Structure 1
Amino acid sequence: MLGAILASVGLEIFLIPNNIIDGGIVGISIILSYLTNLPLGAFIFILNLPFLFIGYKQIGKTFVISTLFSVTVLSIGVTVLHPVPGLTKDVLLAAVFGGIILGIGVGLIIRYGGSLDGTEIVAIILDKRTAFSVGEIVMFFNFFILSSAGFFFGWDKAMYSLIAYFIAFKVIDLTIEGLDESKAVLIITEQPKLIAEVLMARLGRGVTFLEGRGGYTGQSKSVLYSVVTRLEIAKLKTIIDEIDENAFVTIHDVHEVMGGKFKKKAIH
């Protein structure tokens, strides 16, 4: 509900008053509402229904129910907020802040198991049947939808729409993964025990020893595995460099951490 309300605010308080559109079904609905003077909320709800039916058959009941709830709240939200005047007439500010608020809203919905757009349902289904990813399919749809804004609102508004969409896209990722995302670290070193002890003492992180074997030498090696926050990466690199400057280190993004004694914290 909170995500759909924020998306409504981003659309009706920032984007729509400045003729900036979003991608997907929402973008199509904005164009149709502009051309017909009919309520935006009605288009959003009605155009999403066929995709929800397809999703119910192909994806699952829980996802579709969550999406239906989000779409319903969004439809009501944009209808209620439509008479409210926009907060700014500066198109760039509207694109930036509208994109941020919309991105947070959509990110919250996706993070908790729903969606706000029928094109994402189509993308999920096509992802299983084609070589294209969900992101690539959605981007393909949105390229044509956002480009069409140029014919109705002018090409400058189409470019502002692309700015808003790019910002929303990035903010969605931040909302889903969190600002303080985790990193998995693999360390191959000649000083495994010492590095493990220092990491546990100075960072307070657990370290797991994995058994490895050198492909060239055939010698057994201890590989250290640990999960830290993004904020701790610089300190971790310093610690490893102080002990073994020849250590081989790989760092990977981790989208979610569950169980164990891992707890995110800031470095003081």
Structure 2
Amino acid sequence: MGIGNLLTRVFFIIVGAVLMAVGLELFLVPNQIIDGGVTGISIISSHLSGWPLGIFLFVLNLPFLVLGYKQIGKTFALSTLLGIIVMSVGTQLLHSTPAFVDDVFLAAVFGGIVLGIGIGIVIRFGGSLDGTEIVAILLNKKTPFSVGEIVMFFNLFILTSAGFVFGWDKAMYSLIAYFIAFKMIDITVEGLNDSKAVWIISDNHKAIGDALLSRLGRGVTYMHGEGGFSGDEKKVIFTVITRLEEAKLKAIVEEQDDQAFLAIGDIHDVKGGRFKKKDIH
């Protein structure tokens, strides 16, 4: 990794961790709203013990940091360590700062937004601010449950615990903050373009490819395939579009071959090549 890329990664991990600290100390914690994962456990532990939140955020994440080093690698572990240190110190420095809002609903909404953006930035640049996902990845290998299902189970348990500690109304506000943060993480990590990868298998591949190029302005790549049952050679068309172009692409494919096989999937990043749309007249 070049020095420029390293400095960029460090800068954005620090920015993301600071935003996480702001979301916690200026929105959620003063209004007794929690997040999921280790962060939620840390908020509850800090409330019950009276100890600073930053201590729990750092100490409780350390075991998961070791697991991350063993399972994912050194770069991830160091990036995560930097983020956790900045987040922990940030919460301590901001603890005596008055909350931005006293309205619990507004705190849940805007706290969730700031929190989600912060976490998303750190994830996008190769780190993490919560160890729950690492545990979920490890358990996923030994149980029939998906990573998402395991994380959801942990968070439901933690958010339910908030009902006993802070009251059930605060637990419901915590659910709102958690949902908003979850969506903001997706938006931050994946971006707003919502790029989609498209695979098309058709005997009329040339006509479809030409139509996509001339009418949609998207370049296509022809790949060689082989039918699993028939053993016949197949041409697979691959292209990348935005979410807004999906309906038009489906119409073009159906017009050229209503029996064509079509698969569309979400992708996070598109770089290089000729993804930029060609002008069409």
Q: Name the TM-score class by shorter chain.
A: 0.7 to 0.9
1:153 aligns with 2:144: no
Query: Which residue in the other structure is 1:164 paired with?
Result: 177
CA contact (8 A) 1:231 1:267 kept: no
Query: Which residue in the other structure is 2:4 paired with?
Result: none
Query: Which residue in the other structure is 1:250 paired with?
Result: 263
- Distance change in 2, residues 1:53/1:185 (3 Å): closer
Deviation at 1:27, TM superposition (A): 0.9
TM-score between both structures, scaled by the size of structure 2: 0.84
CA offsets per residue over residues 17-50 of structure 1, 9 Å max, x none? 2110011121111112112222111221122223
Equivalent of 1:107 in 95, 120, 124? 120
Deviation at 1:114, TM superposition (A): 0.8
| Amino acid corresponding to residue 262 of structure 1 in structure 2 | F
Query: Which residue in the other structure is 1:76 paired with?
Result: 89
- Distance change in 2, residues 1:142/1:13 (3 Å): same
Query: Which residue in the other structure is 1:173 paired with?
Result: 186
Deviation at 1:148, TM superposition (A): 0.6
How far, CA to CA, are the matches of 2:277 and 2:98 in structure 1?
41
CA offsets per residue over residues 188-223 of structure 1, 9 Å max, x none? 445432321221123332212345567888876544
Q: Indicate the RMSD between aligned Cα atoms, in angstroms.
A: 2.7
- What is the aligned residue count? 268
Deviation at 1:243, TM superposition (A): 4.2
Query: Which residue in the other structure is 2:240 paired with?
Result: 227
Query: Which residue in the other structure is 1:45 paired with?
Result: 58
| Amino acid corresponding to residue 135 of structure 2 in structure 1 | V
CA offsets per residue over residues 117-175 of structure 1, 9 Å max, x none? 12223223323333333222222221111111011110011111111111211221222
| Amino acid corresponding to residue 25 of structure 1 in structure 2 | V
CA offsets per residue over residues 213-268 of structure 1, 9 Å max, x none? 67888876544221112122123234334544554433222233344222379999
CA offsets per residue over residues 58-115 of structure 1, 9 Å max, x none? 4422211111110111111111222222222222221122111111111111121111
How far, CA to CA, are the matches of 1:85 and 1:265 in structure 2?
51
How far, CA to CA, are the matches of 1:195 and 1:85 in structure 2?
60
Deviation larger for 205-214 or 257-266: 257-266
CA contact (8 A) 1:229 1:265 kept: no
How far, CA to CA, are the matches of 1:112 and 1:163 in structure 2?
26
Query: Which residue in the other structure is 1:92 paired with?
Result: 105
How far, CA to CA, are the matches of 2:77 and 2:68 in structure 1?
6
How far, CA to CA, are the matches of 1:191 and 1:130 in structure 2?
44
Query: Which residue in the other structure is 2:21 paired with?
Result: 8
Equivalent of 1:55 in 68, 79, 86? 68
Query: Which residue in the other structure is 1:263 paired with?
Result: 276
Query: Which residue in the other structure is 1:205 paired with?
Result: 218
| Amino acid corresponding to residue 97 of structure 1 in structure 2 | F
How far, CA to CA, are the matches of 1:18 and 1:220 in structure 2?
63
| Amino acid corresponding to residue 118 of structure 1 in structure 2 | G
Deviation larger for 189-198 or 164-173: 189-198
How far, CA to CA, are the matches of 1:136 and 1:194 in structure 2?
43
CA offsets per residue over residues 1-20 of structure 1, 9 Å max, x none? 11111111211121112110
Q: Spell out the pairing of 1:135-146 with structure 2 (5 A cutoff).
A: 135-146=148-159
**Secondary structure of the corresponding residue to residue 144 of structure 2:** coil
- Distance change in 2, residues 1:217/1:40 (3 Å): closer
| Amino acid corresponding to residue 30 of structure 2 in structure 1 | P
CA contact (8 A) 1:180 1:231 kept: no
**Secondary structure of the corresponding residue to residue 129 of structure 1:** coil
1:29 aligns with 2:39: no
| Amino acid corresponding to residue 149 of structure 2 in structure 1 | E
CA contact (8 A) 2:35 2:174 kept: yes
Unaligned runs of 5+ residues in structure 1 are none
How far, CA to CA, are the matches of 2:278 and 2:188 in structure 1?
18
